[in-house]
Amino acid sequence: AAEDERPEDVRPPAVLRMTMNYLIDSIMDDQTEPFSEVQLFVRDRMRAIRKDFTCQNVRDETAVEVHEQMVRFHILCGHRLCEEERAVFDPKQNQEQLNNCLTTLKEMYADFRKAGKASCPNEVEFLAYDILARVHSANDVLHACMRLPDDILSSAPIRRALRAFSLVRSEDFSGFFKYLREAPYLEACTLHAQVAPMRARALVVLARASPKGKVSLELALRGTACDTAQDIMPFIEAYNGVLDA
């Protein structure tokens, strides 16, 4: 608990920012260790950084900058480690940490606006990530958008995020995969959890549209945006008999 912290153990904001920059610039670039190990090391130290900000109730430009770095970290890890065993990487825990960071950021952005301060330069980028991280829930996206000023709602990142939300809700797999090909890298990474469901949906739709109720491997690869037969095999096996031999 915050009240249990000794003052001498709590790092000031400037030191927290230096620590964060060191983690990102030096530790994250370490090629000598598996990325999963690097992720665990960095994750635990980021959690301690967040705790020190909370203990001091610091919600200034430094806190915003550091929390934005944390969000990018969790988005990147969620994508790069999504195929690891749960014992190596826990996607649920990573998503929880991402959501916590985004919630704190949204609160700080709102505080800045209420205080009449200049908007944070990366605000629309991270509010877009917040929408993309919640595309599975129409209520969450609606509530998030209701609280946004018109100038932010009309920004390009938010418009792209709402486009992605519409594609997921309508199960428009063709539009969804086109979006991923064109989207900025971290926006696409934020949506990685939606890729498997959309591929499964694509396979079902393509098979139903075929006169024989089956789909060729070439069409299946193209429709699901898979690069190789190996990538698509889990979906083929899940829908046994859908592939036209």
Q: Which amino acid is at 49?
A: I
Q: C-alpha 118: how far from its chain's center?
A: 26
Structure tokens at 176: 């969804």
The conformational region for residue 197 under phi > 0 = left, psi -120 to 50 = alpha, else beta, is alpha
HSE at residue 91, side-chain half, CA atoms within 13 A, is 14
Cα distances (angstroms) measured from residue 120 to each of 19, 63, 72, 238: 22, 11, 16, 46
> Judging by beta carbons within 10 Å of its beta carbon (0-12, 13-18, 19+), is residue 208 exposed, middle or buried?
exposed
pTM over 0.85: yes
* Residue 243, beta-bridge partner list: 215
Intra-chain end-to-end CA distance of the chain, in Å: 61
8-state DSSP, 1: -
Least Cα distance to 37 among 77, 71, 96 occurs for: 77
Q: Which amino acid is at 172?
A: D
- Evaluate whether 119 touches 151 at the Cβ level (below 8 Å): no
Residue spans of alpha helices (H) in 23-155? 35-56, 61-80, 91-114, 123-132, 138-146, 150-153
Q: How many helices (H) and strands (E) are present in the chain, helices listed first?
A: 13, 0
How confident is the model at residue 2, as a pLDDT? 45
How far is Cα 142 from Cα 125, in angstroms, rounded to an integer? 18
How confident is the model at residue 5, as a pLDDT? 61
Question: What is the residue whose two structure tokens read 């505080």?
Answer: 111
HSE at residue 10, side-chain half, CA atoms within 13 A, is 18
**Rounded average pLDDT per 10-residue block, the chain, 245 residues:** 62 96 92 93 96 94 97 97 94 96 96 86 96 94 91 96 97 96 97 93 89 85 91 82 70
How confident is the model at residue 4, as a pLDDT? 58
